[in-house]
Amino acid sequence: MSIGNRDLVARASRGDVDAFSKLVREHSSMVHRVALRVLGAEDAQDASQEVWIRVWANIKNFRGESAFSTWLYRITMNTCLGALRKRRTREARELGEETTYLTEIPGDDADPEEASLGSERRNEIWAALRHVRAEHGAALVLRHMEGLSYAEIAEVLGVPVGTAKGWTSRGRAAMLVALAKKNHGGAGTRRKPPADAGEPGGTLGGAPEDRSVRRGQARIVSATHHN
Protein backbone atom coordinates (compact mmCIF):
# COMPACT_ATOMS: atom_id res chain seq x y z
CA MET A 1 0.00 0.00 0.00
CA SER A 2 1.32 3.46 -0.87
CA ILE A 3 2.19 5.87 1.93
CA GLY A 4 -0.59 8.20 0.77
CA ASN A 5 -3.19 5.43 0.84
CA ARG A 6 -1.97 4.21 4.22
CA ASP A 7 -2.38 7.68 5.67
CA LEU A 8 -5.85 8.11 4.16
CA VAL A 9 -6.98 4.71 5.42
CA ALA A 10 -5.65 5.43 8.90
CA ARG A 11 -7.43 8.78 9.03
CA ALA A 12 -10.65 7.37 7.56
CA SER A 13 -10.63 4.56 10.14
CA ARG A 14 -10.70 7.27 12.83
CA GLY A 15 -13.78 8.85 11.25
CA ASP A 16 -12.12 11.45 9.02
CA VAL A 17 -14.74 12.07 6.33
CA ASP A 18 -12.40 14.12 4.13
CA ALA A 19 -9.87 11.28 4.05
CA PHE A 20 -12.59 8.79 3.20
CA SER A 21 -13.86 11.04 0.41
CA LYS A 22 -10.38 11.06 -1.10
CA LEU A 23 -10.27 7.26 -1.00
CA VAL A 24 -13.63 7.15 -2.76
CA ARG A 25 -12.43 9.52 -5.49
CA GLU A 26 -9.23 7.52 -5.99
CA HIS A 27 -10.83 4.07 -6.17
CA SER A 28 -14.41 4.67 -7.33
CA SER A 29 -13.64 3.92 -10.98
CA MET A 30 -12.36 0.44 -10.09
CA VAL A 31 -15.38 -0.31 -7.92
CA HIS A 32 -17.84 0.78 -10.60
CA ARG A 33 -15.91 -1.04 -13.35
CA VAL A 34 -16.06 -4.36 -11.49
CA ALA A 35 -19.74 -3.87 -10.62
CA LEU A 36 -20.49 -3.07 -14.26
CA ARG A 37 -18.74 -6.20 -15.47
CA VAL A 38 -20.37 -8.51 -12.96
CA LEU A 39 -23.88 -7.03 -12.83
CA GLY A 40 -24.32 -4.91 -15.96
CA ALA A 41 -25.35 -1.27 -16.19
CA GLU A 42 -28.75 -1.73 -14.57
CA ASP A 43 -27.46 -2.61 -11.09
CA ALA A 44 -23.86 -1.34 -11.14
CA GLN A 45 -24.57 2.06 -9.61
CA ASP A 46 -26.57 0.70 -6.68
CA ALA A 47 -23.94 -1.96 -6.02
CA SER A 48 -21.14 0.63 -6.13
CA GLN A 49 -22.90 2.74 -3.54
CA GLU A 50 -23.46 -0.31 -1.34
CA VAL A 51 -19.74 -1.10 -1.56
CA TRP A 52 -18.75 2.31 -0.18
CA ILE A 53 -21.34 2.06 2.58
CA ARG A 54 -19.75 -1.24 3.61
CA VAL A 55 -16.24 0.18 3.33
CA TRP A 56 -17.13 3.09 5.62
CA ALA A 57 -18.76 0.73 8.11
CA ASN A 58 -15.79 -1.65 8.18
CA ILE A 59 -12.70 0.44 7.50
CA LYS A 60 -11.98 0.68 11.22
CA ASN A 61 -11.41 -3.09 11.12
CA PHE A 62 -8.88 -2.91 8.27
CA ARG A 63 -5.53 -4.02 9.69
CA GLY A 64 -3.31 -3.48 6.67
CA GLU A 65 -2.41 -7.18 6.38
CA SER A 66 -3.19 -6.96 2.69
CA ALA A 67 -3.20 -4.06 0.26
CA PHE A 68 -6.16 -1.71 0.60
CA SER A 69 -6.98 -2.37 -3.06
CA THR A 70 -7.19 -6.12 -2.38
CA TRP A 71 -9.47 -5.53 0.60
CA LEU A 72 -11.60 -3.22 -1.54
CA TYR A 73 -11.77 -5.79 -4.36
CA ARG A 74 -13.00 -8.34 -1.82
CA ILE A 75 -15.79 -6.10 -0.55
CA THR A 76 -16.73 -5.13 -4.10
CA MET A 77 -16.88 -8.70 -5.34
CA ASN A 78 -18.79 -9.97 -2.30
CA THR A 79 -21.32 -7.17 -2.73
CA CYS A 80 -21.72 -7.90 -6.44
CA LEU A 81 -22.02 -11.65 -5.94
CA GLY A 82 -24.70 -11.13 -3.32
CA ALA A 83 -26.62 -8.83 -5.65
CA LEU A 84 -26.18 -11.27 -8.53
CA ARG A 85 -27.55 -14.21 -6.54
CA LYS A 86 -30.55 -12.19 -5.41
CA ARG A 87 -31.27 -11.06 -8.94
CA ARG A 88 -30.97 -14.56 -10.37
CA THR A 89 -33.30 -15.90 -7.71
CA ARG A 90 -35.81 -13.13 -8.43
CA GLU A 91 -35.63 -13.62 -12.19
CA ALA A 92 -35.96 -17.39 -11.90
CA ARG A 93 -39.05 -16.91 -9.76
CA GLU A 94 -40.66 -14.21 -11.91
CA LEU A 95 -39.69 -15.31 -15.38
CA GLY A 96 -38.62 -18.91 -15.04
CA GLU A 97 -35.59 -18.24 -17.16
CA GLU A 98 -32.94 -15.59 -17.73
CA THR A 99 -33.72 -13.39 -20.70
CA THR A 100 -32.09 -9.99 -20.16
CA TYR A 101 -28.68 -9.29 -21.66
CA LEU A 102 -25.86 -7.84 -19.58
CA THR A 103 -24.36 -4.84 -21.29
CA GLU A 104 -21.35 -2.71 -20.62
CA ILE A 105 -21.17 1.02 -21.18
CA PRO A 106 -17.59 1.97 -22.05
CA GLY A 107 -16.14 4.39 -19.53
CA ASP A 108 -14.01 7.42 -20.08
CA ASP A 109 -10.90 5.26 -19.92
CA ALA A 110 -12.00 3.00 -22.78
CA ASP A 111 -9.20 2.54 -25.28
CA PRO A 112 -9.60 2.78 -29.07
CA GLU A 113 -9.53 -1.00 -29.49
CA GLU A 114 -12.37 -1.46 -27.03
CA ALA A 115 -14.36 1.24 -28.77
CA SER A 116 -13.94 -0.65 -32.04
CA LEU A 117 -15.64 -3.75 -30.65
CA GLY A 118 -19.20 -4.04 -31.90
CA SER A 119 -21.91 -3.69 -29.29
CA GLU A 120 -23.41 -6.99 -30.44
CA ARG A 121 -20.20 -8.86 -29.61
CA ARG A 122 -19.95 -7.26 -26.16
CA ASN A 123 -23.60 -8.05 -25.51
CA GLU A 124 -22.94 -11.68 -26.38
CA ILE A 125 -20.15 -11.81 -23.78
CA TRP A 126 -22.26 -10.26 -21.02
CA ALA A 127 -25.26 -12.43 -21.91
CA ALA A 128 -23.07 -15.54 -21.75
CA LEU A 129 -21.68 -14.41 -18.39
CA ARG A 130 -25.19 -14.63 -16.95
CA HIS A 131 -25.11 -18.38 -17.53
CA VAL A 132 -21.92 -18.80 -15.51
CA ARG A 133 -22.03 -19.74 -11.84
CA ALA A 134 -21.49 -16.59 -9.74
CA GLU A 135 -18.16 -17.63 -8.20
CA HIS A 136 -16.78 -18.83 -11.53
CA GLY A 137 -17.87 -15.62 -13.25
CA ALA A 138 -16.22 -13.57 -10.51
CA ALA A 139 -12.90 -15.36 -10.99
CA LEU A 140 -13.21 -14.93 -14.76
CA VAL A 141 -13.82 -11.18 -14.45
CA LEU A 142 -10.93 -10.69 -12.03
CA ARG A 143 -8.51 -12.69 -14.19
CA HIS A 144 -9.36 -11.70 -17.75
CA MET A 145 -10.92 -8.26 -17.29
CA GLU A 146 -9.17 -6.90 -14.20
CA GLY A 147 -5.84 -8.62 -14.89
CA LEU A 148 -5.31 -9.99 -11.37
CA SER A 149 -2.94 -12.87 -10.72
CA TYR A 150 -4.32 -16.15 -9.41
CA ALA A 151 -2.78 -15.38 -6.02
CA GLU A 152 -4.60 -12.03 -5.94
CA ILE A 153 -7.86 -13.65 -7.05
CA ALA A 154 -7.50 -16.23 -4.29
CA GLU A 155 -7.00 -13.48 -1.72
CA VAL A 156 -9.95 -11.46 -2.98
CA LEU A 157 -12.32 -14.44 -3.06
CA GLY A 158 -10.94 -16.06 0.07
CA VAL A 159 -10.09 -19.40 -1.53
CA PRO A 160 -6.90 -21.39 -2.22
CA VAL A 161 -4.95 -20.53 -5.38
CA GLY A 162 -5.87 -23.89 -6.92
CA THR A 163 -9.55 -23.12 -6.42
CA ALA A 164 -9.12 -19.69 -8.01
CA LYS A 165 -7.52 -21.33 -11.07
CA GLY A 166 -10.29 -23.93 -11.24
CA TRP A 167 -13.07 -21.36 -10.96
CA THR A 168 -11.48 -19.25 -13.70
CA SER A 169 -11.17 -22.28 -15.97
CA ARG A 170 -14.76 -23.37 -15.32
CA GLY A 171 -16.02 -19.85 -15.89
CA ARG A 172 -14.21 -19.71 -19.21
CA ALA A 173 -15.59 -23.11 -20.25
CA ALA A 174 -19.15 -22.17 -19.26
CA MET A 175 -18.96 -18.98 -21.30
CA LEU A 176 -17.76 -20.94 -24.32
CA VAL A 177 -20.68 -23.35 -23.97
CA ALA A 178 -23.16 -20.46 -23.69
CA LEU A 179 -21.68 -18.76 -26.74
CA ALA A 180 -21.68 -22.00 -28.73
CA LYS A 181 -25.36 -22.59 -27.88
CA LYS A 182 -26.20 -19.05 -28.98
CA ASN A 183 -24.39 -19.62 -32.29
CA HIS A 184 -26.64 -22.65 -32.84
CA GLY A 185 -29.71 -20.61 -31.98
CA GLY A 186 -30.41 -22.80 -28.95
CA ALA A 187 -31.62 -25.58 -31.24
CA GLY A 188 -31.28 -29.13 -30.06
CA THR A 189 -30.94 -30.56 -33.57
CA ARG A 190 -27.73 -30.64 -35.47
CA ARG A 191 -27.59 -29.12 -38.91
CA LYS A 192 -26.09 -31.20 -41.69
CA PRO A 193 -22.52 -30.01 -42.32
CA PRO A 194 -21.52 -28.95 -45.83
CA ALA A 195 -19.63 -31.57 -47.78
CA ASP A 196 -15.99 -30.95 -48.67
CA ALA A 197 -15.56 -31.04 -52.44
CA GLY A 198 -12.35 -33.01 -51.95
CA GLU A 199 -13.92 -35.65 -49.70
CA PRO A 200 -17.55 -36.82 -50.12
CA GLY A 201 -19.51 -36.47 -46.91
CA GLY A 202 -16.65 -34.64 -45.19
CA THR A 203 -16.75 -31.26 -43.39
CA LEU A 204 -14.69 -28.26 -44.27
CA GLY A 205 -12.90 -26.79 -41.26
CA GLY A 206 -14.20 -29.34 -38.76
CA ALA A 207 -17.61 -30.05 -37.32
CA PRO A 208 -20.03 -27.14 -36.79
CA GLU A 209 -19.74 -27.52 -33.02
CA ASP A 210 -15.97 -27.13 -33.17
CA ARG A 211 -16.18 -23.99 -35.27
CA SER A 212 -18.72 -22.41 -32.93
CA VAL A 213 -16.51 -23.06 -29.91
CA ARG A 214 -13.55 -21.51 -31.72
CA ARG A 215 -15.68 -18.49 -32.57
CA GLY A 216 -16.68 -18.27 -28.93
CA GLN A 217 -13.04 -18.40 -27.84
CA ALA A 218 -12.16 -15.62 -30.26
CA ARG A 219 -14.97 -13.43 -28.90
CA ILE A 220 -13.89 -13.93 -25.30
CA VAL A 221 -10.23 -13.21 -26.05
CA SER A 222 -11.15 -10.14 -28.10
CA ALA A 223 -13.71 -8.67 -25.70
CA THR A 224 -12.07 -9.46 -22.35
CA HIS A 225 -8.58 -8.37 -23.27
CA HIS A 226 -9.79 -4.97 -24.41
CA ASN A 227 -12.07 -4.20 -21.44
Q: 27-67: per-residue pLDDT in tens?
A: 999 999 999 988 888 889 999 999 999 999 999 999 888 89
Q: Is the pLDDT of residue 91 over 80?
A: no
- Residue 178 vs residues 87, 132, 172, 216: alpha-carbon distances, Å: 19, 8, 10, 9
pLDDT at 87: 80
55 Cβ contact partners less than 8 Å away, ≥ 6 residues apart: 23, 72, 75
What average pLDDT does range 171-179 have in this prediction?
85
The residue ranking higher by pLDDT, 176 or 111, is 176
145 Cβ contact partners less than 8 Å away, ≥ 6 residues apart: 37, 224, 227
pLDDT at 15: 93
Handedness of CA 218, 138, 87, 47 (dihedral sign): negative
Q: Which range, 42-51, 98-107, 168-177, 205-214, has the best average confidence (pLDDT)?
A: 42-51
The residue ranking higher by pLDDT, 190 or 53, is 53
The residue ranking higher by pLDDT, 107 or 203, is 107
Tell me the longest C-alpha to C-alpha distance in the chain: 77
Render pLDDT for 115-159 as a digit per residue (tens, 0 to 9).
444 556 666 777 777 778 888 988 988 988 888 999 999 999 999
Structural domains in the chain?
1-100 (1.10.1740.10), 102-227 (1.10.10.10)
The torsion defined by the Cα of 45, 50, 56 and 60, in degrees rounded to 10, comes to: -130
